[in-house]
Structure 1
Amino acid sequence: MSEYLETIESLKKRFKIAAVTDDWLGHPIIVFKTGGREEPPVLVTAGSSGVEVAGVYAALELTLQVDVERTVYILPSRDPTGFHEASYILSKILGESVSVESVADLRKLLTGVGAEFLLETGDLFLAIFKGVGVAASYSLDAHEAAELLEKEIQSQELTDTLDGTRILIAGRSPQTEGEGEMSHFLTVFAKEGKLLTYDDFSVETVPEVDFVRNFVDREDLGMVVDLHESKNSSGFYVSQSIEPSSGELTILYLVLDQVRQYGMELASRGTLESIGLQVLTEGLGCGKGHCGLVDYVTGKAYAFAFSTPLDKPLESRIRTLSVATLSALNAFAIACV
């Protein structure tokens, strides 16, 4: 059993389970119920991408740290298969112990097990084995590789061949602490030529996304906080779909102040503009299309995406997301008065 699954089993003994399902490889997507009984409840989620690990670690810690009167639901990882180490996942699929430490190792392994290579360019390959797609780039990170792969699938007329296939894209981030050359996977779902991530709420196709959507629809939530990491900023920032209300601003100003006091710089106005956000202040912007869950929840509850910079040490990223989320939980009580 992996360290993550051991942690989940330990938490199951201490906290109520509000909802649970298994992802495509049998790993639990679980929502823990913490806090008190006050309503409306809050939902904290993380790990929509397996290559954004700090949010998952922060969510696991928050499950133990939350001490408020309000009901708080915590979903530590929306893509637990992607969050696991690549070697662990490949071993589980193959039914034997394997180890991969580089993209070259991955390609050699796939060749050795007789995988069918559907696509191979100078920098990118895609192979299928046991019904699962595995892709990697020698120079791009997982999200960049996904964008290129989608274009190649469309141009090489592989849309029908791959329709309904899950593809694991190697999370190549050698300069990022907690990631590395060959560590975690970004899981995507091929549908009509598009590669859907677990943060795409635009269609009802991916069971793991439907689980989160159904939970949000079922619960009368007051606030949703989605934890992310960003390679496009050297500072922390909050994004929303639309301009915040006065109640949301009460929460966000406290969050930004606490993050600043912790010692994490805030994303500059110029950085937020380059990301495509409408700038409200340092560390705060709005605009649709940056977080699928936040877009989906907007209008039903307060909805924020907290993003910490990938170029910072892992422990700093975890602490920043924890500080920001705990601040939001405390401020929500004030905003609801």
Structure 2
Amino acid sequence: MAQIYWTYNELLEEVHRRAQSVEVLGHTVDGSPIVAARGGGSKLPAVFITAGSHSTEQAGVSAAVSCIEELETEHQVYVIPTRDPVGMQGFAHVLSLGLGERPEADDFDQVESLLRDQGEVLFEEDDLLLSLIGEYGYASARPAPERACAQYFFYQRLQRLAKEHPDALEPLRGRRVWMTPGQTGVAGTGDLGRAYTLIISLDGEILHINRFHDTPWSPIEPRATRDLMARIDPGISFDLHESQLMEDRYFLSARRQPDATNEEWEQKAASAVIQAISDSGATLARDEDVSALGNWFDTSEPGVCWLDAGRRGEGYNLADFASQTYGLAFGTEMGMYGTFDGRVNLAMITVRTAVEVFSQRHA
């Protein structure tokens, strides 16, 4: 049974138990270390695996931890198991950073009272509430039948607000905003078990940790990640993601490569992965599942979707950056209403299968 890590200390203990070595890459805003763990063999080029830039997506984190020890390959393996150690520790934890002490925040009534009584309310619409407390923003959105994902619903509303009324969000420029997940029924997350981290750029864009890999101004999490990648020069990279918008279905997020040889191997690995996923009995994503995430994907075969960062119009995410700078790069999207074990298994199948193809290339 896959382990769910509810605290960062619990995750770090397991990482140290599994890894050949562990390196601290930097420290984030609550003092938590961002770590990279070493596994695999000694062969180059290296394999790079990471997850957790969205702390609500914990099956990818558990899979990344397992890969430290369980991925069988002669190649060097480097794993950043979570890129958001702060958000993974829950909404009460992130509130403590603005309040100075950990509050009782066990339900939405308590959260909303704290945001109103202790913060400066910047935006309120129906049950959507955004406040500034200390140095940080906090956003609350209750789950509702008409919202497939309460957090994503509010995220999109804030992006519209930034365009329609940018002055309303002016106090948040350069700051972090933590959002309630509102993901009732999602194993490993729930309504308040994590905090989704937004980063408001200096230009006022509503972004998140999985951006800023190609920008001069960047939070510590993407800076630490790209610094590690510059040192290890990975030949293949994985960023393990999930989606609450497609029940228990799956798709592989591939990237076009800047040269013909890498493109050929990216396609080979993508086809092998989706065959292995299908053979496992998993259900592949539908067209509407993919389009719900944005109009920047092209599908080459069922379950294999190619993300075009230029059409998305935001900073590079990790897989975009890896594909343009280092080599093969893949993301996963696992439906979060699958079982936790099932979601972890899909991530593990993805990594193992693609690394098998990668190893054939470098045999």
TM-score computed with the length of structure 1 as normaliser: 0.90
Separation in structure 1 between the aligned mates of residue 303 and residue 23 of structure 2, nearest angstrom: 32
Shift of 1:242: 1.8
Matches within 5 A, 1:149-160: 149-154=158-163, 155=165, 157-160=167-170
Q: 1:3 to 1:270 in 2, by over 3 A?
A: closer
Q: 1:298 aligns with which of 305, 316, 323?
A: 323
Separation in structure 2 between the aligned mates of residue 231 and residue 216 of structure 1, nearest angstrom: 29
Tell me which residue corresponds to 1:279. Answer: 299
Q: 1:227 aligns with which of 220, 225, 240?
A: 240
1:111-168 residue CA offsets vs partner (Å, 9 max, x unmatched): 45x2222222223111122211111123452232122123335516134322121110
Paired letter, 1:242? R
Tell me which residue corresponds to 1:325. Answer: 351
Q: Work out whether 1:199 is the aligned partner of 2:222.
A: no
SS of residue in 1 equivalent to 2:167 = coil
Separation in structure 2 between the aligned mates of residue 67 and residue 190 of structure 1, nearest angstrom: 39
Tell me which residue corresponds to 1:65. Answer: 70
Q: 1:18 to 1:327 in 2, by over 3 A?
A: farther
Shift of 1:7: 2.8
Tell me which residue corresponds to 1:258. Answer: 276
Shift of 1:10: 4.1
Separation in structure 1 between the aligned mates of residue 290 and residue 111 of structure 2, nearest angstrom: 36
Tell me which residue corresponds to 1:184. Answer: 194
Separation in structure 2 between the aligned mates of residue 269 and residue 149 of structure 1, nearest angstrom: 26
Are the equivalent residues in 2 in contact too, given 1:58–1:322 (CA < 8 A)?
yes
Are the equivalent residues in 1 in contact too, given 2:236–2:328 (CA < 8 A)?
yes
Tell me which residue corresponds to 1:167. Answer: 177
Q: 1:91 to 1:271 in 2, by over 3 A?
A: closer
Gaps of at least 5 residues in structure 1 are: none
SS of residue in 1 equivalent to 2:86 = helix
Separation in structure 1 between the aligned mates of residue 291 and residue 113 of structure 2, nearest angstrom: 42
1:72-118 residue CA offsets vs partner (Å, 9 max, x unmatched): 11111111111122223334654444332332220123345x22222
Q: Which moved more, 1:286-295 or 1:80-89?
A: 286-295
Separation in structure 1 between the aligned mates of residue 215 and residue 290 of structure 2, nearest angstrom: 28
Q: Which moved more, 1:300-309 or 1:35-44?
A: 300-309
TM-score computed with the length of structure 2 as normaliser: 0.84
Tell me which residue corresponds to 1:122. Answer: 126
Are the equivalent residues in 2 in contact too, given 1:240–1:285 (CA < 8 A)?
yes
Separation in structure 1 between the aligned mates of residue 252 and residue 125 of structure 2, nearest angstrom: 37
Shift of 1:253: 2.4
Are the equivalent residues in 1 in contact too, given 2:255–2:328 (CA < 8 A)?
no
SS of residue in 2 equivalent to 1:44 = strand
Q: 1:102 to 1:152 in 2, by over 3 A?
A: farther
Q: 2:103 aligns with which of 98, 104, 108?
A: 98
1:221-244 residue CA offsets vs partner (Å, 9 max, x unmatched): 100011000234342111123277
- Number of residues of Structure 1 aligned to a counterpart in Structure 2: 336
Paired letter, 1:295? D
Separation in structure 2 between the aligned mates of residue 151 and residue 90 of structure 1, nearest angstrom: 25
Separation in structure 2 between the aligned mates of residue 248 and residue 153 of structure 1, nearest angstrom: 37
Are the equivalent residues in 2 in contact too, given 1:229–1:309 (CA < 8 A)?
yes
Are the equivalent residues in 2 in contact too, given 1:39–1:70 (CA < 8 A)?
yes
Separation in structure 2 between the aligned mates of residue 297 and residue 11 of structure 1, nearest angstrom: 24
Are the equivalent residues in 2 in contact too, given 1:134–1:167 (CA < 8 A)?
yes
SS of residue in 2 equivalent to 1:8 = helix
Paired letter, 1:144? F
1:170-197 residue CA offsets vs partner (Å, 9 max, x unmatched): 1111142322222211111222221221
Tell me which residue corresponds to 2:267. Answer: 249
Separation in structure 2 between the aligned mates of residue 110 and residue 171 of structure 1, nearest angstrom: 16
Separation in structure 2 between the aligned mates of residue 88 and residue 69 of structure 1, nearest angstrom: 40
**Share of identical aligned residues, percent?**
23
Q: 1:84 to 1:156 in 2, by over 3 A?
A: same
